[in-house]
Each structure stands twice: as C-alpha cells, then as structure tokens.
Structure 1
Amino acid sequence: MDEETLTIGEIAKLFDLPTSKIRYWEEKEVFTPRRNSNNDYRTFNIQSSIELLDVIFYRNLNVPIQKMKHFNQLSPESIYSILNDTEKEVEEELANLKNKLVGIEQRKRQLEELFVLKKGGYQFEKIEIEKIVPVDMSSPDDIQIQLEYLSNFTLYKDLEADSEFQMGISVTPDYQHQQGVLWEKDLVEKKYITCLLECDSEDFEKSNLTNHLDTLRDEGYKITRVIASYLATASDETNEPLDYYKGWLEIEN
C-alpha cells in the first residue's frame, strides 16, 4: 500500500503557511522535505509533517535560523539547550510585557482622574504628595522617578511669594537631593481643594489657574500654594495641545 503524501501546496494550506516560507527553510537547510523520485516534486508524509511542525514551533519561539540548521539532526542535548535559552528569553519578554501593562494601567488611571476632575469640579482632598524636589535632568535617579510614573512630574507655585511655576518631581520623604527641596508636607495637616489645571504645553504660566483662584476667592477661600501632578498631554476643543494636571490648591488656615 502506497504511503499517503501531500504536495507543498497542500501542506502549506493545512499548516496555514506560505509555500515560500517552507522553501526558504529548505534553502537555509533547516528543513529538508522528501522528493518524488519520478518528478522531483516535494512530498510530505507523516514523518516530514512532524518535522515541519517542529520547525514551526521553534520558529514561533523566534529561535534564530542559524541555530536550526539541520534541525532534525541535532542531539537531544542541543535541543534542550535551545529550549533552555529560549525559555529565559521568553521570561524576559513576559517581564517586559508585565511592565508595559503596569504602564498602561497607570496612564489609564491618570486619564480617568482627568475625567473625574473635569466632571466633578472642586473637591476637598488630602494631598497625596509628600515632598517635591527640583528636576535635575542630569540625575539618573531623578529621570528614573519620572519614567516610573509620569504623574511624579510636578509643578509648584508659591502664590504668597508671587513666584512662577517651578518644575519638580514628587519623591518619598527620605529622598535626598543636591538641589534642595521645593516643598515638603507639613506635620500640621493643611486643607486642599483639587481641580483640573490646564496649562499651555510651552508656557506653564498660560493656564486656567486664575479662573480657579477667582472662583474660589468668590466662595471665600484664599489659596496660598499650588501643587499639580501631571496627568496627560492632549488637544483641547481648538486642537491646541494642553498639559493637564491634578491641581492641589492649599487653603490658608
């Protein structure tokens, strides 16, 4: 009884592969199909189909072509070594993907915070920031803090000193910084009102802060400091780019 075989077109369709890929693997000596003795056409029986599935599996793991030359002639030890190396690479990829997911969730939370502030108006909240230090772009530690969470990028403004916005990063209380401290949370708890602060991406002084201050003054509040944590950069209704911040407006006791 003749053994049942498939053509390259049939096996390519069965495995959902382009025939060019099978020919390429053959050219690189990764996989060698059998040939019909009468017409030299490629033929695929059960054994060669298993070999091809093996190649597909390892290529899907991104095992380099050069490591797979004469793959069906490799020893079990060599194959195990390839799997071991690939396992380490996959674990690294998984760790990177997990970090990406953490980043996605963080950005989503920042945008959700933006939506809440835009819709909810003014709220009394306890400030989440404990300490702000100036940004030092030459400091790997400072940059790492910003990369970890973009919301660590912070604006600070002392209204009583009539100062401009200063750029900083929010850090833990024990963080040491050569350029000193912009602001640190008092032991005596202050009251804060939160708002959505919108700033020109090129000039922080062009913002809606005055509108907030005027509104709150009319309601009987005097604001002494502004602390703002970064949320997002996006276009407004006029397609102009804006930086959005969660503003913490400190109320004079």
Structure 2
Amino acid sequence: MDHLFQIGEISQFFDVPASTLRYWEEKGILHPEKQSENHYREYSIEDLMTISDVIFYKNLGLQLKEIRDMDRLTPVQHGQLFAEKLSELEQQQKLLTHRMEKLRRHIQAVKILEELKNDPYQESGIDTDCIVSFDLIEREKLCQYIEDPYLYSRVQHSQTLPKEQRGITVSSDMAKSFPETSILWKKETNRYLTFLMKEEITAGFPNDLPCHLAHIQKTHRTGSIISRFLLCAQECGRTYDYYKTFVEILS
C-alpha cells in the first residue's frame, strides 16, 4: 500500500498552511482521499507531486485557475501562456527599475541637503541649462515634476529679489521647443555659490534667502538666483521646503 500523509505532515513538509491546501482542494486543484470514518484528508505520493507543481507554477506568477487548467493546454498553448507571463514580469521589472531610480534620486536629495547644511557657500557650476515657466494646469510639465521634483525651480535676481518666477528646468535641446516668452532663465555663466535655502510652510512662507544673500554680498557681486527643490520635511517641529540654491557670482 502506498504511504499516505496527513494534512499536518504535508503542511509542515512544504511549509504551506493547511488552510491553503484546503483552498487548493476547494478550487479543484488537489483531490486528497478522505477517510470514511472521520473524513480526515490523506495525501498520496501523486498529491505531493501535484503540490510541488502548484508551488512551482505559483512561483512563476501563474494564477490558480491557470494552474488548474494546465493539463488541458496543448504545448503551443503552454508556450503562449509562459510568454505572456514573461512579458508581464518584464513590465513589472521596468516599473520596479523606474521606482528604484526615483528612490535613489530622493535619497540623493537628502544627501545634498546634508552636504549643503554642513558646508555652505561652495563655488560650483550650475546643473541646469534653462528654466521655462510652469503652471500647475500644464499637464505635461506637471507630469515632469511628478517624475522628478528636483526639476521644479525658482528664478530670482539679486537686484529684484521679491520678483520671483517659478518654472521647470529643461535641457538646452528641449528649450528650443518652447516659445521665447516662456523661458525664464538661460545659463550664461557657470560660476555660482551654493547653499541650502529653507522656506517655512506657514503664513507668508518666510525663507532665509535674504540672510544668505546678504552674507555672500559682503564679498561678491551677485546676479541670478536659482533655487531647485529638494524635499519637504520637518525641523524642530516646523515644516519646511528645502531648496538647493545657486547664486550667480559676477566678475
């Protein structure tokens, strides 16, 4: 007589909950024998093979209905099903890769914040070529911002500080596709001082840009001011928007 196994043994052997085995039986995938006197399930060697196949196919991403119907498929249909599953996994892989890249950018924003906080007023080039106007009702630009918030930029000038414009940074090649009237700023020089600007999320939205600018102007003539969004976070119980700010140094 072939050796028979109780549901508890099968559950422990495969590390599959007994409730899952019962569910597979309910869905017509498993067909264990039941003792006539107590209706206990008894699993045969053949059932072990079936369970092994179910686990294998589930690990490939197949649904229970697909697994149940596997024996009814032709070889060609098997190939089509597996090709569909492979395509689904490839799409999921692309999505995961995209999400991971966005997470890396956010982690980088946090690192930049800390670097600027610990070592402000370092001279550097600016990491954008052009900034175009941005209105929240412009769907395409809003989608660009959703993909990468660092694209969101504020444009000011040292001589007219309150006159602020907000836009999206674009490459020099992309800038050619925008009308001249929508261009807020273009890179003409590449000498800037960088620092962390923070703006409190409260009435009036006060920020510390004037303080930074006054400090820099003790030793430098300044021009354009570009602030690129990093993240929104709390500090000492207050909520701030943080920006990497570039102040143009004039010769």
Common fold, TM-score beyond 0.5?
Answer: yes
Q: Which residue identity is paired with 1:177?
A: F
Q: Map of 1:41-190 to 2, 5 A cutoff?
A: 41-175=40-174, 176-178=177-179, 180-186=182-188, 189-190=189-190
Structure 2 residue aligned with 1:245, among 243, 246, 250? 243
Cα pair distance change 1:11/1:38, threshold 3 Å: same
Deviations 1:142-177 (A, max 9, x none): 123223322111111123234333211100113223
CA distance in 1, matches of 2:138, 2:29: 49
CA distance in 1, matches of 2:74, 2:47: 18
TM-score (normalizing by structure 1): 0.88
Tell me the residue number matched to 1:192: 192
Count of aligned pairs: 248
User: Which blocks of at least 5 consecutive residues in structure 1 are unaligned?
Assistant: none
Cα pair distance change 1:85/1:202, threshold 3 Å: farther
Q: Which residue identity is paired with 2:178?
A: H
Q: Which residue identity is paired with 1:181?
A: I
CA contact (8 A) 2:124 2:190 kept: no
TM-score (normalizing by structure 2): 0.88
CA contact (8 A) 1:51 1:72 kept: no
Cα pair distance change 1:183/1:204, threshold 3 Å: farther
Deviations 1:11-54 (A, max 9, x none): 01111111111111111113323445675432222221111121
How far does residue 99 in structure 1 lie from its aligned partner after superposition?
A: 0.8
Identity of aligned residues (%): 26
How far does residue 205 in structure 1 lie from its aligned partner after superposition?
A: 5.3
Tell me the residue number matched to 2:213: 213
User: Which blocks of at least 5 consecutive residues in structure 2 are unaligned?
Assistant: none
**What value does the CA root-mean-square deviation take over the aligned residues?**
2.2
